[in-house]
Structure 1
C-alpha cells in the first residue's frame, strides 16, 4: 500500500510548487502532484540517463504523462544522475521526491554514478527551505549499503548520513509505511513481503540561509 494521502501531506507539496519526481516509473506520484501544484506549478518527471535504455523505455513513459488530459504541467526530462545542474536552475525547486528508488542509485547498473554528487545537485536545485523527500525499503540496522542490489534495501541511517553530508538537515520522519513483521531478510519482490515491506520516510530540508 502507498497511503497516498499521508505521503502527499508528508511531502509538503502545495499549490504553485515546482516539484521533481525522481525516477517516476509509471508516473503514479507525478500524476498525484500535478493537480496539487496546479496551473501555476510544475512537475518534472526526472529519469536518470543511466536507466534510459531499460526495456520499459522510462523516458518515453515520463514524457508521455504531460500529453495526457489534465497533466499538461508535467514534463519528462532525463540527464545523468549526478550531472551538475545548470546555474539557471539553482534554487528553483520546492520539493524533490523519490519513492523506493534511492537504494538503486548505488547499484552497478548506474554505471558508477556518484550518489554524493546527486545529493549535492539536489541541494543546489532546491530553494532555501525546500524539501528533499526519500521513501525506501529498509535494510536491517547496521547493514548500510550491503543489500542495495540483492535485496533492494538500504539502511535508513546510511541515507541520513549521505544526505546530511550534502548540507541538508533532517526535518521529519514518519512510520506510516513501517512494518515490524518484516525482518529485512527477504528481497522486496518475494511474495511474502511484496507490497508490504518495512519502509522508511525521511524529509530533509535545505537550510533557509543556504545558497
Structure 2
C-alpha cells in the first residue's frame, strides 16, 4: 500500500510539473519534435541524427515559436529540413543565407505546404547586410566557421553581420568541429577550430557567450586524421582534396570514430 501511494504521489508531481510548463514551451517541443520526425526529411539526414542530435541541439540553442530565423550557409539542408517546417508550424520565418544571389536550396523547398515561404539572403566575404538591422531572433551556422577562416576576415565579418541583424537579446547558435584540447592548426585547414577562436571573435563583435553544451561531443575523435576532419563520416575522404578517391584506403578506423567532436555554443546579443 505504501509503495502504491509513493507511485501515485510521484505521478501527481509529474502532472503538476507538466501543467506548469508554459503553452509556448509545449508548442515549441511539439512542433520541433514533429519537424524532426517529419517525412519531409531526407533519409540520409535522418541517419545522421544519432551524431547530430537535432532536437536537443535546437532546444539548447533556444529555438522558439514565432522566431525570425536566419541560417547562414545551410549547405545540403540538414537543418533547413527541420527549421523551415518548424517556422511554418509556429508562425515564424525561415531565411537561408547563401553564398550567391542565385543560389537556392533544393527544389523540394519550393513546396509551401511543407516548408512554408522559404526566404533568401546572401552572405559572402563581400556581401552587404544579411537582413535589416535588429530584425532577427535567431542566427544559426553549423560547421562553416572553419571554412571561413581560410578567407582572411570572413569569419569576423560573419560575426559582425550576425550581431547587426539580430534583435537585442537575439541568439547566435554555432556548431563546429572542435580542436580542443589540442591547439588549432594554423587557419584550421584540417577543419578543427579551437573553441577560443570562435568565442573571441564573437565577443569582439559584441556577443556574450551564454552557454556551451557537450550534446555533440565525441570523445573517440582523436582529431589527427590523414585528410583532416573529412576523413571521418559523412565525407569519408580517402585522398587529398582534388585527387581521385583511393579504393584501397581502409576506412574502418575512422568509421568506428563516427562524426567529429563538435562544440555547441549559444551566444546572446546583449539587450
- Shorter-normalised TM-score: what interval? 0.7 to 0.9
**Distance of 2:155 and 2:187 partners within structure 1:** 16
Runs of 4+ with >4 A deviation: none
Instruction: Please give the secondary structure, in 2, of the residue aligned with 1:188.
Output: helix
Q: How does 1:23-102 map to 2 (within 5 A)?
A: 23-38=73-88, 40-49=91-100, 59-60=103-104, 62=105, 64=107, 66-68=109-111, 69-81=113-125, 83-85=127-129, 89-102=132-145
Deviations 1:101-160 (A, max 9, x none): 1111112xx4x45322221111010010000011011113362462522x1110111110
Distance 1:79 1:5, change over 3 A: closer
Give the CA RMSD over aligned residues: 2.3
| Among 184, 190, 203, the residue aligned to 2:231 | 190
Q: Which residue of 2 aligns with 1:202?
A: 265
Q: Looking at secondary structure, tell me which structure has more strand per residue.
A: 1
| Among 64, 69, 77, the residue aligned to 1:14 | 64
**Distance of 1:95 and 1:115 partners within structure 2:** 18
Larger radius of gyration: 2
Greater length-normalized contact order (CA 8 Å, ≥ 6 residues apart): 1
**Distance of 2:124 and 2:178 partners within structure 1:** 26
Tell me, yes or no, if structure 1 residue 106 matches structure 2 residue 146.
Answer: no
Q: Looking at secondary structure, tell me which structure has more helix per residue.
A: 2
CA shift at 1:205, angstroms? 0.2
TM-score scaled to structure 1, two decimals? 0.82
CA shift at 1:73, angstroms? 2.6
Distance 1:120 1:145, change over 3 A: farther
CA contact 2:88–2:116 (8 Å) conserved in 1: no
Distance 1:63 1:82, change over 3 A: farther
CA contact 2:83–2:94 (8 Å) conserved in 1: yes
Q: Which residue of 2 aligns with 1:178?
A: 217
CA contact 1:82–1:113 (8 Å) conserved in 2: no
